[in-house]
Amino acid sequence: MKGFEELKNKRILVTGGAGFIGSHLVEELLKIGAKVRVVDNLSTGKFKNIESHINEIEFILGDLSEYEIAEQSVKDVEYILHQAAVPSVPRSVKDPLRTNRSIVTSTVNLFEAARKEKIKRIVQASSSSVYGNSPTLPKKEDMYLNPLSPYAVAKYTQETYGRVFSSIYGMSIVSLRYFNVFGSRQDPNSEYSAVIPKFVKLMMKDKKPTIYGDGETTRDFTYIKNVVGANLKSLVSRKKVSGEFLNVACGERISLNELVLEINKIMGKNIKPEYGPGRVGDVKHSLADIEKAKDLIDYEVLFNFKAGLKSFFDSETDLK
């Protein structure tokens, strides 16, 4: 990506840097010429995601829910891209304590350590799940929030801490509300896997994917390149972004039935899905208004859904 020359030689911490999104950020920062440190406990991240860059980065194996790890991680860095979390709504329903520890406790530790270190800016990952099941579309950042799962509550708490630390301590913390991010390095094998890699892997083997509900559930699927761009633009924005919440998405709705059709089209197949009961905590419809992000960080959709899906097929070697 071009336009981020000012990040060259900057010391940047990526939390959760061995994860799906974090590893893409690490890769792009190295291309820019930044000095990258990664902290990850490898509970959901994978070392193989950063292994090819291990001699170019500083890697800390540790858990940010331990304050000493947070202190060690932020020492002498200038910027933080905070991606660390145990993701997934269903996983949080099964284990809310772990979810809270990985998101809320870890974030407060990180913020407090960063406050003492006088970090220039933190960009952190939040989630569209904070909006809940409101029928109002598109989702705008000033809407009433109604989180429906422990994961969504934790993300809401995380971004609220970002606003409060920005307000009372004068820190610069930006929260990005991701909408259904997909791309290479997502794990298709876990029961908690994101829908796109799971569906693609099954359909490549001529197996039927399972849709929970009637398939008319819609999502604003967002390709990873858009998310990487949003993070970097948030780091360098000179507008008043401290304490803000920004939607990161494509601004288009795709139903799960349409998703299956598009995957079939790319693969030249005609596999029909199976249907099961809806899941607790799932949101029925999701669509983002991305005007605020366009205004404050000059966000742009680099790949719409169809272009992103095609790029995913071209780049995802783990599924082939």
Active site residues: 151
Contact indicator for 212, 276 with CB cutoff of 8 Å: yes
Dist CA 61 CA 35 (whole Å): 18
The amino acid sitting at 48 is: K
Residues 6+ apart with CB under 8 A from 236: 4, 6, 7
In Å, what is the CA distance from 246 to each residue of 158, 293, 303, 318?
14, 5, 18, 31
> What do you get for the CA distance between the two ends of the chain, in Å?
27
What six digits make up the tokens of 174?
Answer: 């930006």
Report which of 191, 198, 96, 111 is spatially closest to residue 149, judged by C-alpha positions. Answer: 96
List beta partners, residue 218.
255
Contact indicator for 144, 134 with CB cutoff of 8 Å: yes
Contact indicator for 97, 136 with CB cutoff of 8 Å: no
Q: For residue 230, give the 3-state DSSP assignment.
A: helix
